[in-house]
Amino acid sequence: MVQDLSIHAMTALGDPNVYGSALSWRRNFKYFKQTSLTQLTSRQCFWHQCMRSFSLTSQPRRSKRGSFKIRAGWLFKGGGQESGGRIERSENANNDILIFFFQLDLATRVQYALNIEQYEIAQELRMKLTEVEAEVIKQQESKKGLTSKSEVQDKGLNIIRLRADLQKAVESENYALAAQLRDEISKLETDSLAASAKVLAYESAEYSFRLGQKVRHKIFGYRGVICGMDPVCCESSSWMEIAQVEKLSRGSNQPFYQVLVDVRTDPDLLVAYVAEENLLAPEEPDTERFDHPYSSFLFYGVDSAGDFIPIKQLREKYNRPRYEVPFEDDEQQGDD
């Protein structure tokens, strides 16, 4: 799943006769109608299930069971050597980007159906898009340590109820029950405080890098582009162990970035999840060529400084302002 790639993303990079047709939405719409949201949003199969009915006229890699996966690396040549940066490869970050693209793709299909006056199909697609958007919001809230409003209210009510039960247990001298209730209250309060701290971190986060900015890895040296950010590490404990996050000077409580890696440097790394302390901004504008299959749908293009310009939806996803390249006056202007 880590390196599955949308056919639509590839059509933006080359000849659609090679990579597949982007106009096959009618054929695939039947699949969307028959697929439940639970199946679609399964982290391991979400993207593969949604896009597997698209076909390639080239030769994709196929598994023994007949379903195919497209590795982004096969489009590019270069690298070929094991990179230490692969310890920071993130399946979660890659999935997050692909689900984001799936949202954009569905929204485009809705608009296309409306344009050709296929209103029934547009309505069905809009319903599917609404379900996906609701699931994405749920995932984002979970990532931030938030839960639904009803769950928050339930947790607060449970604490109040448990405290009342604790008082009754103490008054009746049922100390065993009182001890059990104290433990339950303590756990609920700890969970609540941890969630509040994480929410506060998201609200007051300060980042040294911005969306679309080109960076270089301080240790592994590869070039990358920022396409996402978290105020703290939101990966699993097993990932943090593999990535040796405990050895970082600032640990896991620092901003972490989703970084697209130049596939000419390492065609198999694709997306890395990198701590802020391990990234460097180039001293001079980086106007060198940068290749990545996701750049065509995450960014409009590049600015005069060589950085990528994030699309509006990506800025809204991370609540980031639009960045304008500073205008530098001609040093000789005062002599004119």
Q: Is residue 193 part of a domain?
A: yes
With a cut of 90, say whether residue 240 has pLDDT above it. yes
Q: Is residue 163 part of a domain?
A: yes
Q: How many CB atoms lie under 10 A from the CB of residue 4? A: 20
Mean pLDDT check: name the lowest of 64-68, 250-254, 290-294. Answer: 64-68
Q: 266: domain range?
A: 214-317
Tokens for 169? 């247990």
Name the nearest CA neighbour of 195 among 136, 141, 238, 154: 141
What distance lies between CA 81 and its chain's CA centroid?
26
One domain for residues 233 and 289: yes
One domain for residues 44 and 172: no
Axis-axis angle for helices 175-203, 149-171 (nearest 10): 150
- Radius of gyration of the chain from its Cα atoms, rounded to whole angstroms: 24
One domain for residues 120 and 65: yes
Contacts for 31 with CB less than 8 Å, ≥ 6 apart: 50, 53
The string of pLDDT tens digits covering residues 20-62 is 333 333 344 444 444 443 444 343 344 444 444 333 333 334 3
One domain for residues 114 and 36: yes
Q: What is the mean pLDDT of residues 147-157?
A: 61
With a cut of 90, say whether residue 116 has pLDDT above it. yes
Distances (CA, A) of 63 to 9, 66, 70, 150: 22, 5, 11, 43
The number of folded domains in the chain is 3
One domain for residues 130 and 176: no
One domain for residues 101 and 25: yes
One domain for residues 274 and 253: yes
Q: Is residue 273 part of a domain?
A: yes
pTM (two decimals)? 0.64
Distances (CA, A) of 223 to 4, 229, 319: 21, 17, 25
Q: Which of 103, 128, 143 is the last residue of a domain?
A: 143
Owner of token pair 């004119």: 336
